[in-house]
Amino acid sequence: MRKITFIGAGSIVFAKNLLVDILAVPELRDSTISLMDINSERLAMIEKIAKRLITENDFPTKIETTTNRKKALKDANYVIAMIQVGGLEAYKLDIEIPNRYGVNQAVGDTLGPGGVFRGLRTIPVYLNIAREMEELCPEALFLNYVNPMAINCLALTKATSLKNVGLCHSVQGTAYEMSQYLNLPYQEINYISAGINHMAWYLKFEHQGKDLYPELKKKYDDPDIYQQDVTKFEFLKHFGYFVTESTIHMSEYVPYFRKSKSWISKIHKMQREDPANSYGGDIGWTTEDESGAYLHVCQVRNKTYQADMEKLINSKIEIKRSNEYGSRIIEAIETGRETVIHGNVSNNDYQISNLPADSIVEVPCLVNKNGIQPTSVGKLPTQLAALNRSNINVQQLAVEGALTGDKEKIYQAIMMDPLTGAVLTMDKIRAMVAEMFSAQQKWLPNF
């Protein structure tokens, strides 16, 4: 039996979705699935869900639960990580300290002060996991779902021998949204996306051989559609291509939007008004300056967590696959049924020729029994590569600092952040970062 290990299975909703994805593949149902988390209460909840799914559907799957990471990793074939080091306590500091200095982050988990410090907390844990995997399951494939995606994957690639890939749903999710803007079936769309995680670009977007970009550009003038994706349509207008990440997320990675209250208000208008929006419309909006939008969502949902989980445990769960790549990778490797994903991988073979080799890129990858095989995209349009490099600069310095314990690299990384540099002087950045180091010391063993 193949063994699939979840590290951080207490991320119950996400773990449940990945579990259902795996069980949706008949050839994977005879797997051993090891659910590991340091929180025994949350672990008990996901165990209830998993065992009920197995029993109700009469699957041969074996479910293991443990708080012992080494036990979970031993003899694993696939390791799926979904952890959050420091939890909401640390995340709150990522948002609130920079906001006091004038750095307004909406999510703060990928770039900027919040993203860098989330990476600093995660990398030491990842290196410990990697050392254990090199001992207990050296041939296993590490599937990373944890942000900051590029920072984490770059650290793993530079410091370990693990086979790893970073996975996100922004490429397929945004492609689906684009198809809806054009009233076309998503299944009939053909596209190529490439760049870096949360800032990849649709280099091709077609329907039955027809280029859809001319039609998409017309939607800039449709206020109902424009308002749903303000930053994406602004990048389409000014840089010529649609970007993969959500409107509020993308606004954090560039200097153009979040230093202006009028732009921030425009970007968040839909989040305030749409009752079904995942960034907080369904739970009430209380943050006047829109800083920490996703932190607010997490805090409110944390208060209703127990009731929400009991409801989930007792609800009927359909065995229906999501659009996440994880189960598709495992299926392709195990069965030979080829698939294409957009994975975050090392650029050491210059899959994108005008981005640094010492970086993590998000490119189409063929997956089959030979594993994950990144494709060569060639050169990005110059303006898109320049935008990507502005983020890669931060990622490289953050990883250098994390692996060496050099605080100066971290100061420099955040000085290079496009949004932070647009609103703060270098002295102010240094003061802000020093305060973040002091506040988060207990999660930063390397410093």
Catalytic positions, written as ranges: 169
- Whole-angstrom distance, CA of residue 253 vs CA of residue 108: 10
- Whole-angstrom distance, CA of residue 404 vs CA of residue 409: 9
Neighbours of 34 (CB within 10 A): 23
Neighbours of 196 (CB within 10 A): 28
Identify the residue whose tokens are 């898109």: 384
168 marked among binding-site residues: yes
- Whole-angstrom distance, CA of residue 430 vs CA of residue 425: 9
- Whole-angstrom distance, CA of residue 246 vs CA of residue 366: 25
Who's near 146: CB < 8 A, 6+ residues apart? 8, 81, 82, 83, 84, 122, 152
198 marked among binding-site residues: yes
Which tokens is 351 given?
């899959």
Strand extents, DSSP E, 229-385: 339-346, 360-368, 371-374
* Cis preceding-peptide flag for 185 (omega within 30 of 0): no
* Cis preceding-peptide flag for 223 (omega within 30 of 0): no
137 marked among binding-site residues: no
Identify the residue whose tokens are 């998503």: 186
DSSP secondary structure string for all residues of 327-372: HHHHHHHHH---EEEEEEEE-TT-SBTTS-SSSEEEEEEEEETTEE
CB 293 within 8 A of CB 248: yes
Residue ranges at the known binding site for substrate: 147
